[in-house]
Structure 1
Amino acid sequence: MIIRLETDADHQAIYALTRDAFAPMSFSDGSEPDIVNQLREDGDLTLSLVADQDGIIGHVAFSPAKISNAEGAWYGLGPISVRADRQRQGLGSKLAHTGLDMLRKLGAAGCVLTGNPDVYRPMGFSNDHALTYSGLNPKYILFISFDGTVPKGEINFAEALEEDHP
């Protein structure tokens, strides 16, 4: 298996993978594959990585995020998708870590996301309840800092992600 940047030839496979990965998730409204396409169309898909092993078996997207009281370039993680028969084997974590390492090398300040803390804490994400996002319970707002700063304030994700969150 290799992790690599997406190519134009991967777009349909990424769409299908994302659709299928989120279909059984009770928290999903089915918009995730369209979000990836919209990020790409808007020029906000900063980093799009695929796990390739005789086809696309995993994908992760990173896009710009602004934090009202934080300096530096911050990015949002997500969506992240793994083929059903490869889930719970560490592939999503490997994709996320590869992307985070690439962002770190680009000089990013850090990365933020909304999600299950039990899933993302083992990847190095934490929450100190100083970040807010659209009225979401702060326990589901997580960050990882590359330079040791702790971000504070309201997060604004790329527009494609904002449309998903009223």
Structure 2
Amino acid sequence: MSTFSLCVYCGARPGSNPSYMAAATELGQAIAQANMRLVYGAGDVGIMGAVARAAQTGGAETFGVIPTHLMDMEVGKTDLSTFVVTETMHERKKVMFMNADAVVVLPGGAGSLDEFFEALTWRQLRLHEKPIFLLNVDGYWDPLRAVLDHVVREGFADPSLLSFVQTVADVPDLMAKLQ
């Protein structure tokens, strides 16, 4: 049984840059090699599926959480170590977050941003102290970092907000910071 659980928020699509899928596969492999448990959205499509398949192939424990209404759209990956079906997206996010020791966000869309901002808001409100990482594949998250800087600069958040998010360039950098 793994002792450290990494929650991965990421796209249910592959994205337009092949580097996104490559980073997802590399992350899944690294999770397995580090004997960590993958906690993620239980889909078998896009970047989400790539992370899970690579983690499984490497022998990692996998913990997936999916709401009933996404079972078909995200192709619920029922062969995981643990497969949880929730009624709502809110429950999904809560179960994923509560079963993780840290969060990493790979490239993704509105859902990934929603998950990221909820984890960041909870951290800002001192509801947790879990590390939050942006895996900045080919600069994908540079615009988000600029928005966070803008929010602080314009006085809508304390500068400490920026310290709650660590941006990492690649999977080796992430794994080094998690050790």
Q: Structure 1 length normalisation: TM-score? A: 0.37
Which has the larger share of helix?
2
Which has the larger share of strand?
1
Q: Structure 2 length normalisation: TM-score? A: 0.35
